Structure 1
Amino acid sequence: MGKVVDFRQKIIDGIKTLYPTMDVEWYDGLFDEKDIADWTLKTPCARVAVMASKSDPTFTGELNALLRVVVVLIDENKYVSLDGDSRAWDMVETVATWAHQNQFGHPDAAPALNVQFKRISQPVLRREGVSVGVVEWHSDLMIGTNKVLQRDFVWNNGQMVTKVPSTKAKILGHVETAAGLSGDETVDVTPEVP
């Protein structure tokens, strides 16, 4: 699994933690009324899209991919007319505050920035009792191979060497003071390995 797909899955898993009974899946970033009609069969639900907007090379040889993340949240009226609106706003606010400055448990992701959220207002959806909210943000994700780790560190059998063998060393010295006293002294200079 690539890093982008893994990152998207971590966002999906995070939303499932926020809303354990919610149907959460990925989508390709585009949706229309037919998609919403299909998704309303599983309300409340969320659909997560991760789209690359641009990438910049870094000194490590990796690409810093600026990802555009879009989460569509859908609910419908349940008990009274238009009660889906308040639940949709609540979901939008919860996901937006959760996403802000979140790395989503991915070690190569930067904290999410530029969180935006809105409710989509459309008369056809409103008449059908469907409420749609969208949360969008940008996350940087380092992808590719870090050439600095390969170039500047010692590797053995495909693993980075983090410990080296140590030796024991003792220094024996003869000391004479200005008062005419003398003696031998031994000092242990074995380096400490953390």
Structure 2
Amino acid sequence: MGKVVDFRQKIIDGLKTLYPIMDVDWYDGLFDEQDIADWTLKTPCARVAVMASKSENTFTGELNALLRVVVVLIDENKHVSLDGDSRAWDMVETVATWANQNQFGHPDAAPAQNIQFKRISQPVLRREGVSVGVVEWQSDLMIGINKVLQREFFYDQNGQMITKVPSSRVSILGHVQTAAGLSGDETVDVTPEVP
């Protein structure tokens, strides 16, 4: 699994934790009325798309992918006419707050930024009692191979980075004689501590 797909899955898993009863899945970034009609069969539900907008080169040789993340939230009226609207706004606000500055548990992701959210107003959907909200943000994700780690560090035969090196014990032996004529040998341990 690539890093982008893994990152998208972490967002999906996070949304499932945020809303345990919600049906959460991915989609390709485009949707129409038929998609919404299909999704309303599973309300409340969320669909997550992660799309690359552009990338930047870094000194490590990796690409900093500037990802555009879009979460579509769908609910429908339950008990009272138009009560889906307040629930959809609540979900939009909750997801926007949750996404803000979140790395979604991915070690190579930067905190989410540029959060945007809105409710989609469409007369046909309103008449059918469907409420749709969208939350969008930018997440930067480092992808590729870090050339600095390849060049600057040593690896064992299994490909694992060597982080501890053998240490040696260093002692200094000196002969000390005082002005009073006393003398003796002094040993000092100067072994550096390895973290």
Q: Tell whether the structures are fold-level matches, with TM greater than 0.5.
A: yes
Residue 187 of structure 1 is matched in structure 2 by: 188
Aligned to 1:107: 107
The two structures have a TM-score, normalised by structure 1, of 0.97
Shift of 1:137: 0.2
Counterpart Cα distance in 1 of 2:77 and 2:47: 19
Aligned equivalents of 2:4, 2:120: Cα separation in 1: 27
1:166 aligns with 2:170: no
Q: Secondary structure at the match of 1:55?
A: strand
1:15-74: CA deviation from partner (whole Å, max 9, x where unpaired): 101100100000000000000000000000000000000000100000000000000000
SS class of match (2:124): helix
Aligned counterparts, 1:1-194, within 5 A: 1-157=1-157, 158-194=159-195
Name the CA distance, whole Å, in 2 between partners of 1:38 and 1:164.
Answer: 59
The alignment of Structure 1 onto Structure 2 pairs a total of residues equal to 194
Structure 1 CA distance for aligned equivalents of residues 121 and 37 of structure 2: 15
In structure 2, the gaps of 5 or more residues are: none
Measured after TM superposition, the shift of residue 176 of structure 1 is 2.2
Tell me the SS of whatever aligns to 1:50: strand
After TM superposition, which residue ranges in structure 1, 4 or more long, deviate above 6 angstroms?
Answer: none
The one-letter code of the counterpart of 1:144 is G
Whole-Å separation in 1 of the counterparts to 2:58 and 2:188: 47
Root-mean-square deviation (CA, aligned residues, Å) is 0.9
CA distance in 2, matches of 1:192, 1:68: 46
Opposite residue 164 of structure 2, the aligned amino acid is K
For 1:179 and 1:56, locate their aligned partners in 2 and report how far apart those are by CA, in whole Å: 72
